[in-house]
C-alpha cells in the first residue's frame, strides 16, 4: 500500500517490475481490445511491413508499465493520469518464452494538490520501448 503523503519524497524509487509478454497474451489482448491487426499475431505480415517480427500492442505495453505504478500505489484508482510515447516495439518471439519487460520508476515531483508525478522506464531486449512515460498518482492522506 502506498505510504502516506508525508512519507513520499521526490527521488523515491518504485519497486521494479519484471513482466513477460507472450503470444498468448497478444491473442487475449486482441480479443479484449478488438485490435486484431495481423502485426500482432502474423510473423509474415509483420515482416512485410518492415517490423522485426510480431509486436505487442502499444496499449498493452503501456498497461503493463502502468501496472508498476498501480502496484506501488496499492489502488488502481489512485492513478489519475498516465501517458507515454511509443518509441520502439516490443518484439514477441514465437518460441514459447515471450518478451521480457523491465519496468522501473521514480517519483519526480510532489505537487501541492496531493499528487505526485512518476517517471516510468520500460525496457525490452535491452532497449527503451516507451518514451516520456509518466503517471500522476493521488496520495492518500
Each residue of 87-100: pLDDT tens digit?
999 999 998 899 99
Band of pLDDT at residue 5, cut at 50, 70 and 90: low
pLDDT of residue 27: 96
Each residue of 59-91: pLDDT tens digit?
999 999 999 999 999 999 999 999 999 999 999
Q: What pTM does this model have? A: 0.90
Residue 73 grid coordinates: 500505489
Domain boundaries, the chain: 5-138
**Looking at the domain 5-138, which fold is it?**
Thiol Ester Dehydrase; Chain A (3.10.129)
Amino acid at each position: 500500500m502506498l505510504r502516506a503523503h508525508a512519507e513520499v519524497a521526490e527521488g523515491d524509487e518504485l519497486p521494479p517490475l519484471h513482466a513477460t509478454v507472450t503470444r498468448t497474451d497478444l491473442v487475449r489482448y486482441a480479443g479484449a481490445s478488438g485490435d486484431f491487426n495481423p502485426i500482432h499475431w502474423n510473423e509474415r505480415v509483420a515482416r512485410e511491413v518492415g517490423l522485426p517480427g510480431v509486436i505487442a500492442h502499444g496499449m498493452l505495453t503501456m498497461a503493463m508499465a502502468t501496472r508498476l505504478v498501480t502496484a506501488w500505489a496499492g489502488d488502481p484508482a489512485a492513478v489519475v493520469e498516465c501517458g507515454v510515447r511509443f518509441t520502439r516495439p516490443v518484439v514477441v518471439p514465437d518460441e514459447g518464452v515471450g518478451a521480457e519487460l523491465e519496468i522501473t520508476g521514480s517519483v519526480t515531483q510532489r505537487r501541492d494538490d496531493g499528487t505526485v508525478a512518476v517517471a516510468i522506464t520500460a525496457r525490452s531486449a535491452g532497449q527503451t520501448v516507451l518514451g516520456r512515460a509518466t503517471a500522476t498518482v493521488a496520495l492518500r492522506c
